[in-house]
Structure 1
Amino acid sequence: MSAAATAGAVLVLNAGSSSLKYQLVQPDTEEVFAEGIAERIGDHDASITHEQAGSKTTEIRAMPDHLAAVEFMMGLFAEGGIDLGTAGLSAVGHRVVHGGRTFYEPTLITPEVISEITRISSLAPLHNPANLIGIAAARELLPDVPSVGVFDTAFFHALPDAAATYAIDRGVADLHAIRRYGFHGTSHEYVSGQAAEFLGRPYDDLHQIVLHLGNGASASAISDGAPIDTSMGMTPLEGLVMGTRSGDLDPGIVLHLNRVVHLGVDQIDTLLNKQSGLKGLCGENDFRTITEKMDAGDESARRAYDIYINRLRKYIGAYMIQLGRVDAITFTAGVGENAASVRADALADLEMYGIRIDAERNALRSREPRRISTADSAIDVLVIPTNEELAIARQAAEVVGSSSAG
């Protein structure tokens, strides 16, 4: 493939502690040239799955660190005819989970920015350090391509004070940057914008509830183009029941686990982030498996599902009250886009509020934006596939374009 074909494209990197998800996308045309994921980085049997030009391959090999993963990724691109070093990339866009109080816009990565992301990593110790590793690898191997950080918390930066503030001592909260930041912001912003476009209505005149339901899950209430509340808080642990995270719980439980059960802080962290949620309730966090188990009469799977739906309905109800008027409720992400039963049960028996689901529309599987409510439903219920990579690419390209123009 010629460099002209990829000129202006953005390489999007999402680095986890032992993974690297990537995509090469053209922000203007939305064309995806290649994408993939490296997993179990640091192990001798790490894997990388790469899709390019209609071909999908998976290789098992040693990848001692993220630098090695990026190097191998670049080799796979080259085998498919794309030399990332000479492809004319406009930027490398990095997903950074926590921007703290400092970063609320996509930001050109500089040594000073790296230093600040490092400083605030205590707010997201499971995520930001991994994001920084991806940034370092890209800057070393693609030194002539500007890197841009796009922050998960940015969309919720201007939450109303009443929604962003925890009811604890103000001095302690201010000193230690304790507030509700919200997460999945890139997805919520993208999907809410797509919902407005789908409905043919101005974004700044739409009252929406967006439900990002994946292994991590969050809800948001968006009024006239601005978020007024969201379910995740200072960390991604707050809110909905998730694949392995507990979501909301009495803070006294943490004290009890420490004082009475004698679990240390790290043990409690692991319990609530990796061993709770659906996995803690029934041993599974894959919704397909949970559904199969429910169909086979598994009581623990049914109980986990019911708890998941109960929490989801509580947030939907709360946000309906906060918004006052609701024009659209949109489901997105892996579970939201594919689990018809979750969509139906989350909005069951709400006809009195003007919500009516069309069973046939809801059962339809599609990768396209679609309406699943009936023609006479007062509130439009939509399924909009999220595309965080495209959103990151667009924001990164805009930052680089603005910088060049300046």
Structure 2
Amino acid sequence: MGRVPFPAETPVLTDGVVTLRAPRPEDLPGAIERNTEDPDSTFGADDARRWMSYGIPEAWSAGTRLVFVIEHQGRYAGTVGLAPDANGNAGVHYGLGSWARGAGVASRAVRLALEFGFTVCGFHVIHWWARVGNWPSRRVAWAAGFRLGPTIPALAEDQGRRTDAWTGWIGPGDPRSPRQPWLVNPVLETSRLRLRTWRDDEVDRITTARTNQVTAHFLPFLPQPFTAEDARFWLKDMAEQAAAGLRFNWCVADRGTDVALGNVTLYNVATRIDSELGYWAHPDAQGRGLMAEALRGVADWYFSPAGFGGRRLVIRTAAGNKAARRVAESAGFRLRGLDRAAFALGDKTVDDRAVYDLLPTDDQL
């Protein structure tokens, strides 16, 4: 394949809020500041000066990287670029100064770059990747309409070590807007509890709660003992499920001390009908009615038109799981029936599955 005929000079692209253009001498202080904000960065002031003065124009001239300065509010905000490959595709990369983050600047810049790449350069597909855990980069790709691809082990390098990376792609005919909602947990409060997002420093509370014989019996797919590594993987997986629009996941914490007492997960949320609840409690919380209180708090928000606006909540558990059933019934859920021999147990036997539901019109709410 021959070289795509890129414009000889960097064009100016704008959406009225963000402008993409060639670098200017007055951009240098902002470029140095952005590249020194990361304490782990090895890209110093001299590197930034060379890149802005010579590197970007030379890369553009050679067609190896088409880099734009992002201008916002009349000042340097960061850069966005496209890296062409031999197959007529390109990769996108971007970086933003901290002062410009959180206002949709990066996603606006990426949309402008995508339009340029598809309409002017004729790229077939534009790829994105980011180190797993780089949530700001992933949120920009989500906002710009990228399809999320597989997570590829050891694709990227981070501080001299290979690390897993998220991947994504977008085509010329794809919308430049999110493909699914990014679920953000609302903070819910009851008389004794605060339901919030889990923190990374609460791994010990998770491992203690999920390592016991009852869990091993009724949730045999969970590893036992449930280690700190398992807990960290679970936290990462819950964050990715939220980013994919699949689940809400709350830490149930004491309202006064903020100590984690349990967990409530809400999934099957796409249709807002038959959304399902799962829950578990730390030993400190058991026998105090706290999990039923947490479920009622979630139900109030779920059914509220000002909250989620859902229409039916479901709980499914083993018929023999008396503790889980007691929580469901205390929270006002009604037994809808038993699915015979539908719940696999840890001892390789099968139990019936108890199915509970709750409607917004039920008296218990």
Query: Of the two structures, which has the highest relative contact order with CA contacts closer than 8 Å and spacing of 6 or more?
Result: 1
Please give the TM-score of this superposition, normalised by the length of structure 1: 0.23
TM-score, normalised relative to structure 2? 0.25
More helix by share: 1
Larger Rg: 2
